[in-house]
Structure 1
Amino acid sequence: MLARVIFHLDMNSFFASVEVAKDPSLSGKPLAIAGNPKERKGIIVTSTYEARAKGIKTTMPIWQAKKLCPELIVLPPNGDSYRKASQAIFDILLSYTPNVQQVSIDEGYMDVTDMTDIHPVHLAKQIQKRIFEELRLPCSIGIAPNKFLAKMASDMKKPNGITIVRKRDVPQVLWPMPIEEMHGIGRRTVEKWKKTSIYTIGDLAMADKELLLKKFGDRGLKLQERANGIDHRKVDPNAYSRFKSIGHSKTLHVDTANREVIHDTFSTLAVRVQHRLHEKKVCAYGVQITIRYFDWKMITRSKKLDDPIHSEQDLLKEAKRMFEQAWNGERVRLLGISTYDLIDQQYAYKQLDLFSYKEDEKKERLQQTLIDLQKKFGDASVQKGYRKKVNDDDKH
């Protein structure tokens, strides 16, 4: 059987690089992208390597970054420019093979196993050169027999690196690395791994399976396989857009124009949609509501968001806002919330703010606690406000 050849392409300082490509006078200068730069309270989302050399880091407040680097240029995010650049990048990749899996706005996998007429390194150099010449954007490419190793390889040389990691290289190359540098280990779980005496990727590779199962469940065993260089996942061209939408709708027992009942129904829907988003590990760039009136007339309203959302609070806020704008005051028979333009949670991008960033972390922990309680004791165990009995009509 022919060994697979997988590329992982990762754009370097993508948002900042797009700004430099648009304005070449920024080239070679310390540049950062941050939310709310005018008020100096925003958080750094990404920065050029020149800025990183001055100590600038992601999630650092602007005021602190400016202290470290007074000449730092700070620009607000430009979502349209980034999406257009992303589309152009993936158009280039798809010109080589249809076996391309986008995983975020600025990274993706390619399965080039069948491209036997060119050496993988030469092909990687060709792709890297073409993206830079056509779009003025730098990237790093990892080459390996599977997705995990390709991802790890692409992180090893930045910017403009091309790195090969073979399975036989794993003990020498990967095992000495700290556990927090392993793809798939969340920053919030690092301390839990260390408390289990797993400090390096090698420690994980050699760990007792029963201990891993007890402490981390099936996920622990899966990560141990990857620490040993084993990953059977295929490059899936449809994965990025597989979840077209996730939503729920409810029919009320009695047609109503009572705003409190309507808002409470939306609250119930938001909880259930949030559960589904959490289960699928996705966030949404789009929210849509459905209103069916007593006379069966039905309308929908939707909104595209700058930042992806997944929490009950954010879903409810958007749903209520759209409802208040669309409602004609007549009695309502059915309400629905659905989400679309979904993206994997780990790749979701948010324009972080100094205050909302810390609040988001608290919200995330609270949300997980609520989900755990509701899973254990049912949806009714944690509720807010007035509840009216409604029927589940639909979910998708």
Structure 2
Amino acid sequence: MIPRDVIIDLDCFFASVEQELRPELRGRPVGIVPVVAESTSCIAASKEAKKFGIKTGTRVREARQLHPDVVLVESRPAIYLEFHRRFLTALEVFMPVAEVMSIDEVWCRLPENIKTPEDAAKFFLRMKETLRAQIGEVVTCSVGMAPNRFLAKLASDMGKPNGFLLIQKADLPHCLHRLKLRDFCGIGRNMERRLHDHGITTVAQLTSASRETLHAVWGSINGFHMYHWLRGEVTELPPTQRRTIGHSHILPTKLRNEIGVRAVSHRLLQKAATRLRKLDMYASGLQAFIKYEDKQEWSREIRFTETQDSFVFLNALEKLWEHRPRKGGIPPQATGVTFAPLIPASRVTPDLLLHNPAHEKICQAMDALNRRLGKNTVTFGGALGALEYAPMRIAFTRIPDQETEG
């Protein structure tokens, strides 16, 4: 019996979409950036750029040093979302999507009529040909198939770009030994250091470590999960609960001043409040931050009775704003706001003294008008001057809601 967990990962997705739509970019190193500015970082890189060491998180200045002719392209989230939807539509013809893990990655279960590795290879070849016809010749995908999702994700990474890799239980653990610890999902710099502290410096040592050792390294039940996943066994993490809602934005040059950063902060706050209400959540705290061009950062938070009221949020932001540093001559570079902690509406009993039904109706009416007539049809005045900024952004683990974030 062959394994049935499948991860399909679109290769260099944002950059590949740009190369698909703009043929002059094909074969060239491309970095996707949130804004075209020397102070920002790449959020994606093309296959050609990666050959020179340019990757997600590479600063623009460093990218130019790695390859002087790198082409920097400002991200277009709405277009990437459209390609994401086309990808899902084409994929559903072959097999149902069990979970959309991110904008460029999905988890599927292999259809039961596929019985052998040879059948699977032919099946995914047909799937790739269909994706090529319906999405484009430049946007490719890598497919990983394994006894569990964790190993399927690893297989898709090992098969990049545009590959197909099958890991069977009989292949474990030796097929993993050529990898580095940082190649595994969930092992970053800090976790690698903790593994080293426990005498684990190679993948061979990781795969032979006991459950108790891995539990001690991770300091939680996640160590037990890692132990079983590495052996091709299936265990599921408990569902996570949303803890925060927020937005941040790198400021364009024209808004790197006191008026501009305040307007963008208001715009971000109103976007986050709209998302909060759509998710039927309440917030009881707000944090604001500003990053300056001298690399210094300021942040502060405030607490209040749980609410969905934008009037309360705006008042809280103004109170936070009174405490911001006056960095004479040093422009702000980025700003952001975050709601936390969050409480599901089902667990909230409105405070009879503080709850304002009129405010609630106004916020609901504004949300409805902006959904029906387009974003920023109705807005609070603090965001004026920044309405065309703070556009939709795509996080690594969340598909943005175009209705509230577009």
Scaled by the length of structure 2, what TM-score is found? 0.62
CA distance in 1, matches of 2:189, 2:367: 34
C-alpha displacement at 1:102, in angstroms? 1.2
The equivalent of 1:211 in structure 2 is: 213
1:225 corresponds to which of 228, 252, 259: 228
- Whether the 8 Å CA contact 1:170–1:229 is kept in 2: the answer is yes
C-alpha displacement at 1:166, in angstroms? 0.8
Structure possessing the higher relative contact order (Cα contacts under 8 Å, 6 or more residues apart): 1
The equivalent of 1:384 in structure 2 is: none
Distance 1:56 1:325, change over 3 A: closer
Q: Describe how 1:195-274 pairs up with structure 2 within 5 A.
A: 195-215=197-217, 216-233=219-236, 245=279, 247-248=281-282, 263=316, 270-273=339-342
CA distance in 1, matches of 2:81, 2:194: 36
C-alpha displacement at 1:199, in angstroms? 2.1
The equivalent of 1:17 in structure 2 is: 16
Secondary structure (helix, strand or coil) at the match of 2:190 reads helix
Residues 163-190 of structure 1 deviation map (CA, whole Å, 9 limit, x = unaligned): 1111111222113422211123244322
User: Are 1:347 and 2:345 an aligned pair?
Assistant: no
The equivalent of 1:133 in structure 2 is: 133
Aligned residues: 291
Secondary structure (helix, strand or coil) at the match of 1:217 reads coil
Distance 1:197 1:246, change over 3 A: farther
Task: Give 5+ residue unaligned stretches, structure 2.
Answer: 240-275, 285-303, 321-337, 345-353, 369-377, 384-391, 401-406
Distance 1:196 1:293, change over 3 A: same
One-letter amino acid of the counterpart of residue 123, structure 2: L
Q: Describe how 1:82-161 pairs up with structure 2 within 5 A.
A: 82-116=80-114, 119-136=119-136, 137-161=139-163
- Whether the 8 Å CA contact 1:179–1:198 is kept in 2: the answer is no
Residues 205-231 of structure 1 deviation map (CA, whole Å, 9 limit, x = unaligned): 322333333342211111111122222
Secondary structure (helix, strand or coil) at the match of 2:234 reads coil
- Whether the 8 Å CA contact 1:148–1:231 is kept in 2: the answer is no
Which structure features the higher share of strand residues?
Answer: 1
- Whether the 8 Å CA contact 1:55–1:68 is kept in 2: the answer is yes
CA distance in 1, matches of 2:210, 2:216: 10
C-alpha displacement at 1:151, in angstroms? 1.0
CA distance in 1, matches of 2:103, 2:32: 16
C-alpha displacement at 1:18, in angstroms? 0.3
CA distance in 1, matches of 2:223, 2:112: 33
Distance 1:68 1:99, change over 3 A: closer
Which stretch of structure 1 is more off in the superposition, 49-58 or 133-142?
49-58
The equivalent of 1:44 in structure 2 is: 42
Distance 1:36 1:214, change over 3 A: same
C-alpha displacement at 1:76, in angstroms? 0.5
- Whether the 8 Å CA contact 1:32–1:46 is kept in 2: the answer is yes
The equivalent of 1:358 in structure 2 is: none
C-alpha displacement at 1:78, in angstroms? 0.4
- Percent identity between matched residues is 23
Distance 1:322 1:249, change over 3 A: farther
One-letter amino acid of the counterpart of residue 57, structure 1: K
- Whether the 8 Å CA contact 2:97–2:108 is kept in 1: the answer is yes
One-letter amino acid of the counterpart of residue 129, structure 1: E
One-letter amino acid of the counterpart of residue 120, structure 1: A
- Whether the 8 Å CA contact 1:7–1:144 is kept in 2: the answer is yes
Q: CA RMSD in A?
A: 4.0
One-letter amino acid of the counterpart of residue 271, structure 1: A
The equivalent of 1:293 in structure 2 is: 357
C-alpha displacement at 1:261, in angstroms? 11
Scaled by the length of structure 1, what TM-score is found? 0.63
